[in-house]
Amino acid sequence: MILAMFRVMALALWRDRGALVMTFLLPPLVFLIFSAVFAGTTGEDIRLKLAIADDAHTPASRRLVDALLADPDLRAERTDPDTGERVRALVKAGRADAGIIVRADPSASDSPIVVVSDPSRAVAAPLTMARVQQAMARALPDVLLDRTLVETAPAVGGFTSRQMAVVAAAKARLAKDGAGAARPGLFEREDITGAKKGGGTIAYYAGAVSILFALFSAMTGALSLIDERRSGIADRILAGTRGMGPVVTGKFLFLTAQGVVQATMIFITAQLVYGVPVLQHIGPWLVTTVLASVCAAGLALGIVAFCRTRDQAQMLSTFIILILAAIGGSMVPRFLMPPWLQTVGWATPHAWTIEAYQSILWRDAELMAVYPAWAVLAATGLAGLMLAQKATRLIR
């Protein structure tokens, strides 16, 4: 009996070639994708996107900026216009992971480098400081020696002219050879205006969890399409005058409403426990929530409608949800991923949903900054609905 049951299940899996492929080929593919996502989150491999401005305009500050722009471990860009205010604006808008303002000559000034940070990307600021120190150690060792002398002179009563000549020779060698170690006192950290500690991170993960569970719930509800097909209900409906169109549309509306209620519960909790300003932005928040739910419902119905068996649908939906969540930022913030994977992430509803919620609840962005996300979510959901309508007429 035991062997017979084993044989029956093995034959059933063998005959369902779609489920067979997804059972044994999808896991290695998931491993490859997840390894790409998480391998890039170690401190040494992260390539931060930095906005840089030189307010000092000294030879040393120009050398530092040039060294940062040329650093292969960074994605550094000089702002246009080249001002500290532009750096702050780019960080607040989420278009840079952190900002660097060289406000004074790095060779002798106290805290000449301002690191502008977004608390929702807390790890970006210390990583930026480490990268700047590495760049100075490589490209500006003579500047670091100047800083050491300035810090040391009061303790030793100053230096004689002969000692300064020796120092000048040492600086020339350091500038030529490129060796040295960074000194403390280089940085001042500045959080973006109006930033509440932890608020950006909470808004981020509220959006990430909302779209993740909207997709999970929508996929589960969409499986009823296959149940109706297997039980013969779909054939009886198709024999009628209106076909499966109203059925699919009804499911779409229910799944959308379900997603809205789920997101509402998540964000009520975020407001009550963490003070996320949902009520203060209720209009844009509601539009984002509805469109994210539309996207999840349409995607779920479109995917499930093309599956022939429940096993195929369950395996494929789980695979798609996990991959979209990983790439889109629901599991790991996207700025910690490799640059190419950050670009790929824009193909997921998660990235657009998270970006929309953060723009509304954290950055106080104008509505023009949110329209692209709304358009993508709406278009994706409606395209999925149309595919589901078409598939239910073609697949028996």
Strands 49-54 and 75-78: parallel
Contact 67, 136 (CB under 8 A): yes
- pLDDT at site 248: 85
pLDDT score recorded for residue 137: 78
Residue 119: the pLDDT is 82
98-102/113-117 β-pairing:
antiparallel
Which amino acid is present at 268? I
Per-residue pLDDT of the chain (396 residues; tens, 9 = 90+): 667 767 777 777 677 766 666 666 666 766 666 666 555 555 556 788 999 999 988 888 888 899 899 888 888 999 988 888 999 989 988 889 899 999 988 876 678 899 998 887 878 888 888 888 888 877 777 666 666 665 555 545 555 666 556 556 555 655 555 544 444 468 889 888 655 555 678 888 899 999 999 999 999 888 888 877 666 555 555 555 555 677 788 889 999 999 999 999 999 999 998 888 999 999 999 999 999 999 999 999 999 888 877 877 888 888 889 889 989 988 888 888 888 888 999 999 999 999 999 999 888 778 888 999 999 999 999 999 999 888 776 554
DSSP 8-state code for residue 195? P
**What's the pLDDT at 381?**
96
Residue with tokens 């005058």: 241
- Report pLDDT for 384: 94
Q: Check the CA dihedral 266-268-269-275 and report its sign.
A: positive
Please name the residue that has the structure tokens 């609905």: 385
User: Which residue, 70, 66, 64, 56, is CA-closest to 142?
Assistant: 64
Closest to 49 measured CA to CA, from 100, 13, 102, 113: 100
Q: Decide: 355 and 271 in contact? Cβ < 8 Å.
A: no
Domains of the chain: 16-39+197-394 (no CATH), 49-191 (3.40.1710)
Give the pLDDT confidence score for residue 173 in this predicted structure: 58
